Amino acid sequence: MTERTLEALGQRFGPSYRWLVTITAIIGTVASILSSTIVNVALPDIMGAFGIGQDHAQLLSTGFLAAVTGTMLMNAWLVESFGFRATYAAAVGLFLFGSVVAGVAPNEGLLILGRILQGASAGMLQPLMTQIVFQVFPAEKRGSAMGIAAIGVVLAPALGPTVGGLLVDNYGWRSVFFLAMPVALLGLAMGLVFMPSAVSPQRRRFDLAGFLLLVTGLLALFMGLSSGQREGWGAGRVDAELGLAALAATGFVLWELHTPAPLLNPRVFGNIGFAGAFCVALIYGASIFGSTYLIPLFVQTIQGYTATRAGLVLMPAGLVMVVVFPIAGRLADRLPAWQPMVAGLLLFACSTWLLRGVDTDVPFWTLALWIMVGRVGLGLTMPSMNAGALRALPPRFLGQGAGAINFARQFGGALGVNLLSILLEQKTELHAQTLTPTQDGSSAATLEFLRLTQSLLRQDGVPETELLGGSYDYLARVLAAQAGMLGFRDSFLAVTIACLVALLPAMALRRRRISAA
């Protein structure tokens, strides 16, 4: 069979080939990423179906993101060893299989396994898209191409909850796992036609030891965080799991420094601009995935939205990103990378600061507007972050750099969802403990609340012997809702602070530009 190189395919399909292969990569990536957040609006239904708590339910999000992180660094070796075509086809096939497993899962264990398989495929697909763009577009057009390609990367998780909400309310929670399968099948068919199959003449040895250390560290870290929520942070199991994570992470770094064929080449961090973009990508991932996890949960549990309405509140922000990303891509070609990154981070920090003021009465469109401000910021940040990071690297590190920057974003997302879930639970409990002693019956406002509640219960025909207990039960639920609302406020404040901290590494790209000049 004739070797299908990029050059041969370019001659066969003409100037339009660069867009055909880029769109192919985008379709596969969108199909896999769509599943990253679409499950968020289905969590209450899944928790009810399997009788699980939030600590187990969050594994559906973090298990996906952890799998993305674990397989992402394999991308460079897979492409060099088997070519774009085989890597793309295998990844899309794995996604389809994982979707079926999750969609028909009879218990939470198989459901989580299906999510992990979906995440593993997304980890292989995302860096591939970046590599394709940098292979087929000239340097002066890569920023614009990344801006268009990035629409799918962030639009999919932004719109996922909207579509997922409609499916959950009308067809049940299982339907969300089948939504992206037609898109994935289309991507698979296009990949067999447009993806090049040529492999690198010098195949690197796979860093199996590094991969096992990385996977061990990730699994131990996320298991430790989940166990800490369930069993308490002083439990021996939690200490053992987090200790194993620390040992595996240390072993991974030391091994990558000495192995001749590293999974993640430490030399890419010798460039201060790339290192700064890597740090920004960590916080970027935590911000977008963390906020996309918090917002549907807030409007459903505190404001009583349906799954459909919870998804719709994110839709305007997703549509705005369609406009922002091409503009951001052009800015990435014309401006120093640090300028759009700093502007974007400041906008997102402003958005989460506004969300810090949420309460049970915030109108739908006010909430949607606050979210839109943040998504404009994220749209400005991503193309410059990717293009600025890879622009500084020599061609031989392109695959490593693409994998590393996507690894940072996804690891940040998995870690952000976990840490925000922990923070939300702890802050909610703290506020509940603070509010409860204030309702000791001596407050005039509390007594009036109980009197009015008993009056309403009496009108509903509740017996006199149950009025007092019913009024106190309702008071307890009101206090729980208030404590939850305050917990969400604290969680959004944490995201604001993280975005402001990210300004420091973003400025590293400015220092690099000055020193180069």
**Are 285 and 413 contacting, i.e. CB atoms less than 8 angstroms apart?**
yes
- Name, in order, each residue with C-beta under 8 angstroms of 212's C-beta and a sequence gap of 6 or more: none
Looking at per-residue pLDDT, the higher value among 511 and 330 belongs to 330
Looking at per-residue pLDDT, the higher value among 263 and 217 belongs to 217
- Count Cβ atoms within 10 A of the Cβ of residue 394 and give its class: 0-12 exposed, 13-18 middle, 19 or more buried: exposed
Residues in the chain: 517
Work out the mean pLDDT of the chain and round it to a whole number.
Answer: 80
Look at residue 353 in the predicted model and tell me its pLDDT.
Answer: 93
- Residue 453 CA to residue 302 CA, distance in Å, equals 20
Give the model confidence (pLDDT) of 288-312 as tens digits. Answer: 888 888 888 888 888 888 877 887 8
Look at residue 468 in the predicted model and tell me its pLDDT.
Answer: 67
Of the chain, the percentage scoring pLDDT greater than 90 comes to: 11
Look at residue 361 in the predicted model and tell me its pLDDT.
Answer: 81
Flag whether pLDDT at 2 surpasses 60. Answer: no
Please state the rounded mean pLDDT for residues 326-346: 83
- Residue 412 CA to residue 346 CA, distance in Å, equals 18
pTM for this entry? 0.74
Q: Phi and psi of 12, rounded to 5°?
A: -70, -45
Looking at per-residue pLDDT, the higher value among 202 and 341 belongs to 341
Largest pairwise CA distance in the chain: 86
Give the model confidence (pLDDT) of 193-249 as tens digits. Answer: 888 876 655 666 788 888 889 888 888 888 888 788 777 787 888 889 899 999 999
Helix (H) or strand (E) holding 514: helix 508-516
**Are 299 and 517 contacting, i.e. CB atoms less than 8 angstroms apart?**
no
Q: Is 412 left (phi over 0), alpha (psi -120 to 50) or beta?
A: alpha
Please state the rounded mean pLDDT for residues 393-410: 76
Alpha carbon of 207 to those of 210, 270, 423: distances in Å? 5, 21, 36
Please state the rounded mean pLDDT for residues 454-468: 72
- Residue 439 CA to residue 168 CA, distance in Å, equals 38
Look at residue 107 in the predicted model and tell me its pLDDT.
Answer: 85
Look at residue 292 in the predicted model and tell me its pLDDT.
Answer: 81
pLDDT-based confidence at residue 439 (cuts at 50, 70, 90): low
Give the model confidence (pLDDT) of 354-396 as tens digits. Answer: 988 888 788 889 999 999 998 888 888 887 887 777 776 777 7
Q: Tell me which DSSP letter residue 441 carries.
A: S
Residue type, 187: G
Alpha carbon of 359 to those of 185, 311, 356, 372, 481: distances in Å? 43, 18, 9, 18, 10
Residue type, 356: R
